[in-house]
A and B are shown apart, each in its own frame.
Chain A
Amino acid sequence: MSERASPSAGAVEWLARRAEAFVLPLAALIVGLLAFSVFLLFLGKSPLQLFELMWRGGFGSWFSVQNTLSRAAPLLLSALCVALPARLGLVVIGGEGAIVLGGVAAAAAGYALSGAPAFVGIVAMGLASMAAGALWIGAVGALRHYRAVNETISSLLMAYIAIALMNHFVEGPLRDPASLNKPSTHPIDPAFAIGDIPGMDVHWGLVVGIVACVISSILIEKTSWGFAARIAGGNVRAAQVQGLAVGPLIVGFCALAGGFAGLAGMIEVAAVQGNANASIAAGYGYTGILVAFLARHNPLAIIPVALLLGGIDASGGLLQRRMGLPDATVQVLQGMIFLVILFSETFYGRFKAFNPDLWQRRR
């Protein structure tokens, strides 16, 4: 198709090179939806109705869009907790731990500083949560580099330990005696609550998440730190030979990743719950793993993937209510779509249309 375009047009080549990263996942998305349609037809349900409802529930109206955005917001930060260490070749799957501890730290700070100016309180909560998360995932990185403890297993174990600590604090030392049937910490000062983005029904966490994704992208693509990380991610020994301080690099990236996840916990406390309780362990950390891998650990790609996931989640309710499908339908659908998208990675570089170099060679 675009092969025939004027070879002098550099813009076309530029476009073709970049189109691959959009066209392939999009095609995969369509194939995934088609696969799910076949699944539905076997069950005697109408795929057309499903797509109509998904559109209505996830994207088709202002309410649905806001619903999608709300659900995508926490996934941005939790996905970064996986994507950043992945740049160094580390598979960190315990972001949930940093989220819950960040939430507890934020709630404690928000209660302790009651009465302080809102700006001070919010910044303190953010810093406390980031410190807690950074400590937790930073420790995973340190264990990996200095003791050679596998980061996948240590982060998972530490996530379980963090959730136990959170429950212990929420029901023990930090419990608000007035929280009768739902053990919670003391509420934060209402002045520290993070409100909605003006004109929208979505809290500021969405903006924080997008900003964090952009910062991470700049860090990786444009700074010497990011460059060093890419070298170390490719080959640790080569990086060490070149005199890169691999240890601080690993610990630093992990700490930043944990800091972002901790911030997700703070937003959950300050924008949604108003205190820390068991509900902040909502599984965002685990969903974030999937988002990061789908985004191929590219911080900017995390944004559309999180939106896709949020949209499918947002339409899940309608599928239950209108089609009489069980709630797990959404999981099956997501599983199918993601398997196809991940499979589609094998086609990168296989299509001439996306590779202007091959156009030249043929001529």
Chain B
Amino acid sequence: MAKPLMINRRRFLQTTAMGAALGVAGTSLPLRRAFAADLTIGFIYVGPKDDYGYNQAHAEGAATLKAMEGVTLVEEENVPETVDVQKTMESMINLDGARLLFPTSFGYFDPHMLAMAAKFPEVQFRHCGGLWTEGKHPKNTGSYFGYIGQGQYLNGIAAGHATKSKKIGFVAAKPIPQVLQNVNSFLLGARSVDPAITCQVIFTGEWSLAVKEAEATNALIDQGVDVVTCHVDSPKVVVETAAGRGAYVCGYHANQAPLAPEKYLTGAEWNWANVYKMYVTKLMAGETLPNFTRGGLSDGFVKMSALGPAVGEAARKQFEGTLAEIMKGGFAVFKGPLKDNKGNVVATAGQSFVETAIELESMGYLVEGVLGSTS
């Protein structure tokens, strides 16, 4: 089609734009010699890029691509999961010539990204968190995610050693599989230290709602919880509130240690840079992109924050031992006999779900020892 023309128009615009902006905006639009492998990549975020959480983790991964030769990055933040995101994708393709798009919020997948993928078969779309299925979803789409439940398991080990009240707490957004798996992993990690530990979960019902997250944290601590972690888009409020009340915290999404240096035990962080670099390298080399990508700690998709000063020797030993186990691959957080908190058996004795087990991605229960319900 008219792609070469489009790119020329874009370059023309960039140069004139630079002139018009008196060089102020020059940083984002470097003049480069055009070469064949030039690639424009679009990133779309559902919240602000610096939220100390979900979006920041993606934006940090995206930022590492800027250093790659021949790559142009275009980004938009605060894009709602409506027709807006469809138009944003279309605009990145039509006006910026983007050939690889990363709509990073789960809600962008169906129907928005699928609709755009059908319309632009020559553009590649990779989505965070979705379950790409052969035959059901277009070939030019795909999904990637990480086994961050492993990280929450390690969080749980640190929490299990730190808790005195034997009650740990979890501030969660919505009862969906990705969240439930984290809650369960956190408790199972703690129970590997002491099987008497229980985990109280409170659902806020929204991905980002500062006052409610603070209230939920306070309610947990009022019930005697002394280690808190969370799965909301921006853990900043939970971390600061919990530490302010004197509880220990485990981080999520990104490194929140600077927010509570004394009380921060460790945290499960995304390491999207590796994933994004993999896709871009493959595409620039002319290879086909994988449609279904998953990885955990051992693949460098997930990493742990450095252990905080409050982590004792015994905790450090178990944490590092388990981490080494996980790094070997094939580690199972969920293994039988295991019941959910309504008494149903979810894994019989001898049955185990290793990290790659696809059943884990449709988890609909809370395991025994978690106080809370899924609806």
What residues of chain A have their CB less than 8 Å away from a CB belonging to chain B? 44-46, 48-49, 52, 56-57, 63, 67, 70-71, 167, 171-172, 177, 180-183, 268, 272-274, 277-279, 282-283, 313-314, 317-318, 320-324, 326-327
Contacts and interface: CB of A to CB of B under 8 A. Distances in A.
Contacts of B111: 272-274
B90 A46 contact: no
A233 to B, nearest CB: 34
B344 interface: no
Interface stretch (B73-81, B161-169, B211-219, B283-291): B73-81
A67 B88 CA distance: 9
Given A171-B375, A318-B95, A181 B129 contact: yes
B205 A180 contact: no
A63 B90 contact: yes
Given A70-B87, A71-B83, A327-B78, A180 B131 contact: yes
Contact of B25 (A56, A278, A283, A323): A323
Contacts of B362: 180
Interface string B288-307: 00000000000000000000
B361 interface: yes
Given A67-B91, A279-B80, A279-B82, A44 B24 contact: yes
A324 B106 contact: no
Interface of B: 13-14, 17, 20-22, 24-25, 27-29, 74-84, 87-88, 90-92, 94-96, 106-107, 109-111, 129-131, 174-178, 205, 361-362, 364, 375
B20 to A, nearest CB: 4
A321 B88 CA distance: 11
Given A70-B83, A272-B83, 15 more contacts: A46-B17, A46-B21, A46-B24, A46-B25, A63-B90, A71-B87, A180-B177, A181-B176, A274-B111, A279-B81, A279-B82, A282-B84, A313-B84, A322-B25, A322-B28
Contacts of B177: 180-181
Contacts of B95: 56-57, 63, 318
Contacts of B90: 63, 67
A311 to B, nearest CB: 12
A182 to B, nearest CB: 5
B83 A182 contact: no
A183 B106 CA distance: 11
Nearest to B106: A181
Among B14, B25, B27, B77, max chain A CB count under 10 A is at: B25
Nearest to A48: B20
23 contacts: A44-B24, A45-B24, A46-B25, A48-B20, A49-B20, A56-B95, A63-B94, A67-B90, A71-B83, A167-B205, A180-B362, A182-B107, A182-B109, A182-B176, A277-B107, A278-B107, A282-B80, A283-B80, A314-B87, A322-B13, A322-B29, A324-B25, A327-B78
Given A67-B87, A71-B84, A182-B107, A322 B92 contact: no
Nearest to B24: A44
Contacts of B130: 181
Contacts of A283: 80
Contact of B174 (A45, A57, A183): A183
A321 B76 contact: yes
Contacts of A318: 91, 95
Among A52, A272, A326, max chain B CB count under 10 A is at: A272
A335 to B, nearest CB: 16
A201 to B, nearest CB: 8
A57 B13 CA distance: 13
* A-B residue pairs, 5 tightest by C-beta: A279-B81, A49-B20, A321-B74, A46-B21, A46-B20
A6 B111 CA distance: 60
A230 B204 CA distance: 45
B96 A321 contact: yes
Among A71, A272, A321, A324, max chain B CB count under 10 A is at: A321
A278 B375 CA distance: 15
A46 B22 contact: yes
Contacts of A314: 87, 91
Contact of A327 (B77, B109, B364): B77
Contacts of A167: 205
Contacts of A180: 131, 176-177, 361-362
B174 A322 contact: no
Nearest to A44: B24
A172 B130 CA distance: 22
Contacts of A182: 106-107, 109-110, 176
A56 B130 CA distance: 33
A278 B207 CA distance: 11
Contacts of A282: 80, 82, 84
Given A282-B82, A321-B74, A322-B17, A171 B87 contact: no
B91 A57 contact: yes
A204 to B, nearest CB: 13
A40 to B, nearest CB: 10
Contacts of A272: 82-83, 111
Contact of B92 (A46, A70, A313, A321): A321
Contacts of B79: 317
Contact of B21 (A49, A56, A317, A321): A49
Given A71-B83, A181-B106, A182-B107, A317 B91 contact: yes
A52 B83 CA distance: 24
Contacts of B361: 180
Among A274, A279, A282, A314, max chain B CB count under 10 A is at: A279
A30 B100 CA distance: 38
Nearest to A164: B205
A317 B88 contact: yes
B119 to A, nearest CB: 9
A295 to B, nearest CB: 22
Contacts of B82: 268, 272-273, 279, 282
B111 to A, nearest CB: 5
